[in-house]
Amino acid sequence: MKNTTLCYLEKDDCYLMLHRIKKQQDENQGKWIGIGGKFEEGESPIDCLVREVQEETGLHLTGYQFRGIVTFVSDEWGTEQMHLFTGHEFEGELLQDCPEGRLQWVNKNKLKDLPMWEGDRIFFDLLQSQQPFFVLKLCYQGEELVQAFLDGKELPLKQEETR
């Protein structure tokens, strides 16, 4: 199982989003996600968070909140345990050329209009509701979300999410 971090940097009612369009063989190809990546040997979630934000954005993260743990189970990509953060304080200049894709500040009200994983829409709602910490499990067959569990309880999936 791979361990990763993901961070949504916040500014002016927007999140910094990454449109994944540059890497080949990318499970997130064409989707909009937050900033993050895989743990390196010996890293804690905080170590990985700060390093990935710096590498992908050029920004030095100085204030953040650990919001949840999301386990992705996929028949194509295996299992991933993601440590989810929001970042509210940072320093430096935003990179003009991110190695992973295109960076853009997106208003929180417009996020759900972007191409993204269906499960991401669930944790965006949790982030917006200011739930202090949550544990989410998202099960996929291909790109289809087939089950979701919040704090151990199964969530009903909306009909349009299962198409």
For the record, the structure tokens of 30 come out as: 């064409």
pLDDT at site 24: 65
Percent of residues, the chain, with pLDDT higher than 90? 69
Q: Are strands 14-20 and 2-11 parallel, antiparallel or unpaired?
A: antiparallel
Q: Are strands 60-74 and 32-33 parallel, antiparallel or unpaired?
A: unpaired
Distance CA 41, CA 11 (A): 31
For domain 2-162, is the CATH number 3.90.79.10? yes
Question: 10 Å Cβ neighbour count for 137?
Answer: 20
pLDDT at site 163: 36
| Residues in the chain with pLDDT values less than 50 | 160-163
Nearest 10 degrees: CA dihedral of 8, 161, 38, 98? -60
For the record, the structure tokens of 28 come out as: 């997130």
pLDDT at site 130: 80
For the record, the structure tokens of 113 come out as: 């209009």
